[in-house]
Amino acid sequence: MREAYHNELGQLADNLASMCSMVAEAMELATRALLEANLSLAEQVISDDEKIDDARSACEEQAYALLALQAPVATDLRTVLAAIHAAESLERMGDLALHVAKAARRRHPAPVLPETVQPYFSEMGRIAVQLARRAEEVIRSRDVAAARAIEDADDEMDDLHRHLFTILMNKEWEHGVASAVDVTLLGRFYERYADHAVSVAKRVVFVVTGRMPGTVNDEDL
């Protein structure tokens, strides 16, 4: 049983890594769609979301099979459950990328973002994608040290997000309320994406090491 268990767990980890890669790609394209008002990229993210949902179902089915056939206990059990939670967060990251793409499509051909805030979103997009890629790396390399870098990147995201709000709240915001509403929601999508990436990385560290690093912090707006 131990060998079968470890083989199956290895496959589950591979599938989680692929999901990381899919949601990184989705956020990369969605951010380009947003910044370049590129409708076809937006459409691609929107139609690809189903694949992410399917990958999540596949991960869950694999985890269920593992639980049903191997009936793991103690740390092994927690490991499988951590994988189920990670798959859920990854699907949610895909949904958030989808929301970004839909915002780009909704305003097309007009750009969603006033020029003043474009550099923020370019940077938040870069960090979001990096977070998902790092989570993938942590899963594939089982290099737990790499997981630590993830929290630093999330701090950068929180700083950017806070700064974005000070710009919005500034009396000199001259782009109107509708645009402020878009920027508010989009900012939140990126921030939540990053929170989920951190949570995935922590669960992955747990899957690899059997220990959960610190608390999984939720966003605190």
- Binding interface with a second copy (CB under 8 A): 64, 67-68, 71, 73-74, 77-78, 81, 84-85, 88, 95, 99, 102, 165, 168-169, 173, 177-178, 180-181, 184-185, 188, 218, 220-221
Query: Rounded to the nearest whole angstrom, what is the least distance from the CB of residue 156 to a second copy in the complex?
Result: 21
Name the residue nearer to a second copy (CB basis): 49 or 137.
49
- Closer residue to a second copy in complex, CB, 130/179: 179
- The nearest distance, CB 18 to a second copy, in angstroms, is 21
Which one, 7 or 184, has the nearer CB to a second copy? Answer: 184
- In the bound complex, what is the minimum distance in angstroms from residue 221's beta carbon to a second copy? 6
Q: How far is the CB of 145 from a second copy (least distance, A)?
A: 28
Rounded distance between C-alpha atoms, residue 146 and residue 136, angstroms:
10
Q: Considering the complex, state which of residue 76 and residue 136 has its C-beta at the smaller distance from a second copy.
A: 76
Q: Cβ-count burial of 174 within 10 angstroms (0-12 exposed, 13-18 middle, 19+ buried)? A: exposed
CA-based diameter of the chain, in Å? 65
Closest C-alpha among 155, 130, 167 to residue 23: 130
C-alpha span between 53 and 32 (Å, rounded): 22
Q: Could you tell me which residues come within 8 angstroms of residue 79 by beta carbon, excluding any fewer than 6 positions away?
A: 9, 72, 206, 207, 210
